[in-house]
Amino acid sequence: MLNYTLLLHGYRSPGAGLPGALVRDLLDAVDRGAKGAVRLRLEGRSSAKGGFPPAWVSTAAGFQMSGFHAGLPGVELRIPTLGEALPHKFAQEELFPSVDPASSALSLMGRGLADAQAGNGDSDAYDSPLLRTFGEFREVFRHGVQAVELRNGRPDSAPVMITPAGIAAAERLQKQTPRPQRVRVAGKVDAIRHSDRAFTLVMESGEVIRGILAEGDPDELAPHFGRATIVGGMAQFRPSGSLLRIDADLLEPADEHALSMWSEAPRPLFGGSPDREVRRQGSRSGINAFIGAWPGEESEDEIFAMLEEIS
């Protein structure tokens, strides 16, 4: 078991103890963040559409509140290491970045928070849904808390400061993350993991792509092991634009022609969804730029550029 402390900097309690609503919001943000972080690192995605998270996620992220901190306002937590909580997971081949079994779900959450708050757009420690989950710390700040300090009991472990500015940086990363897009790639299925439908695809260039069979029977992966395969699905990107993974819904044999055509890592076609400035329409902008002016001599590229400008 590992010990952690959550300190609430700047909070001034009107009386002894901490308000129940503050403790609720704090522990809820930590619970959701820890579950998302451990699922991302061990399964490749922090959440999936529909249903509840697998039972092992709750097991790995299941912390206990062991008491209130003596001194600064805060709480003490205890949580098992990943090796203690999930011994079977570490007996399998790792398809995603290696995880220290002596660490915990709170350690993984802390790393994700640190990278997101620092604006690291190429990190493997979070994905877009987890960035949204980190935004739940805003509920803690509404109680007058200026920062949350996450301390690991280990002396060699640096604390993580969670601040409103840091959460705003995480939210900006989430907004600039390219939207998922439909892709088709081809390569050799180099490894598969039945328990969570994960696999790796090696392209002709040698680049390795991580994938997850989004739906269906995991046994569908077995016939493709070691074989040239076409994978179709939704590409998920990092804020930097690099590929994080493919949520696959199609696997089929690939011939040499398909390998030469589709053996290239996807690149984002669409950007994120940054806040857009509201602009007033003038006589030569917005819809007025089209009324009475089309059809005309504009090329298709010019027309699409005008549509993009007002969208």
Whether residues 170 and 226 fall in one domain: no
Which has the closest alpha carbon to 82: 95, 66, 98?
A: 98
Whether residues 104 and 242 fall in one domain: no
The token pair that represents 54 in the structure block? 């697998």
Whether residues 143 and 213 fall in one domain: no
pLDDT one digit per residue (tens) for the chain, 311 residues: 999 999 999 998 776 789 999 999 999 999 999 999 999 988 888 987 766 788 999 999 999 999 998 888 999 999 999 999 988 877 665 556 568 888 999 999 999 999 999 999 999 999 999 999 999 999 999 999 999 999 986 767 789 999 999 999 999 999 999 999 999 999 999 888 766 788 889 988 888 989 988 877 778 888 888 899 999 999 999 999 999 999 999 899 988 888 888 888 889 887 655 443 333 344 444 444 444 444 444 444 445 455 544 44
Whether residues 12 and 36 fall in one domain: yes
Cα–Cα dist 166/176, whole Å: 16
Whether residues 38 and 132 fall in one domain: yes
Whether residues 132 and 20 fall in one domain: yes
Which range of residues forms the domain containing residue 120? Answer: 2-176
Whether residues 109 and 170 fall in one domain: yes
pLDDT score recorded for residue 279: 37
From 176, 196, 227, the end of a domain falls on 176
Instruction: Tell me if 267 is assigned to some domain.
Output: no
pLDDT score recorded for residue 265: 85
pLDDT score recorded for residue 215: 75
Cα–Cα dist 85/17, whole Å: 31
When divided into structural domains, the chain yields a total of 2
From 238, 262, 286, the end of a domain falls on 262
Instruction: Tell me if 291 is assigned to some domain.
Output: no
pLDDT score recorded for residue 272: 58
From 143, 176, 209, the end of a domain falls on 176
pLDDT score recorded for residue 269: 84
Whether residues 116 and 210 fall in one domain: no
Instruction: Tell me if 310 is assigned to some domain.
Output: no
Whether residues 43 and 185 fall in one domain: no
For position 238, which CATH number holds?
2.40.50.140
Cα–Cα dist 282/13, whole Å: 54
Instruction: Tell me if 306 is assigned to some domain.
Output: no
Whether residues 124 and 204 fall in one domain: no
- Cα dihedral angle (136, 139, 141, 143), rounded to 10 degrees? -160
Edge-first strand listing for the sheet containing 64-68: 64-68, 74-79, 2-9, 147-152, 160-162
What pairing do the DSSP bridges indicate for beta strands 243-253 and 208-213? parallel
Whether residues 214 and 160 fall in one domain: no
Cα–Cα dist 115/30, whole Å: 16
Instruction: Tell me if 272 is assigned to some domain.
Output: no
pLDDT score recorded for residue 115: 97
Whether residues 171 and 221 fall in one domain: no
Instruction: Tell me if 256 is assigned to some domain.
Output: yes
Cα–Cα dist 264/7, whole Å: 47
Instruction: Tell me if 282 is assigned to some domain.
Output: no
User: What is this structure's pTM?
Assistant: 0.78
Instruction: Tell me if 60 is assigned to some domain.
Output: yes
